[in-house]
Amino acid sequence: MGLEKIVPAISLIAVLILVLPAFLRSNSKLKQFLTNLSIWAIIVLVVMIVSYFILK
């Protein structure tokens, strides 16, 4: 695994560590948390699908 794959992975993990506590604190109710989580999951899936077809 080259450095061009390791550095982005480390930066994404660092961003997740920085954002996750505030995300969990702001979504204290389970219904609100699941709604926001599903919205983010849809956004991530759309970005992955679009990037797959563009980079293919």
36 has pLDDT over 70:
yes
Where is pLDDT greater, at 21 or 55? Answer: 21
Q: How confident is the model at residue 13 (pLDDT cuts 50, 70, 90)?
A: very high
Indicate the number of domains in the chain: 1
* CA distance linking residue 34 with residue 42, whole number of Å: 12
5 has pLDDT over 70:
yes
Q: Which domain holds residue 46?
A: 3-55
CA distances from 13 to 33, 47, 55 (A): 21, 18, 23
Where is pLDDT greater, at 55 or 16? Answer: 16
N-term to C-term CA, the chain: 21
User: What pLDDT score does 24 carry?
Assistant: 79
Tokens of 23: 């995300």
* CA distance linking residue 49 with residue 47, whole number of Å: 6
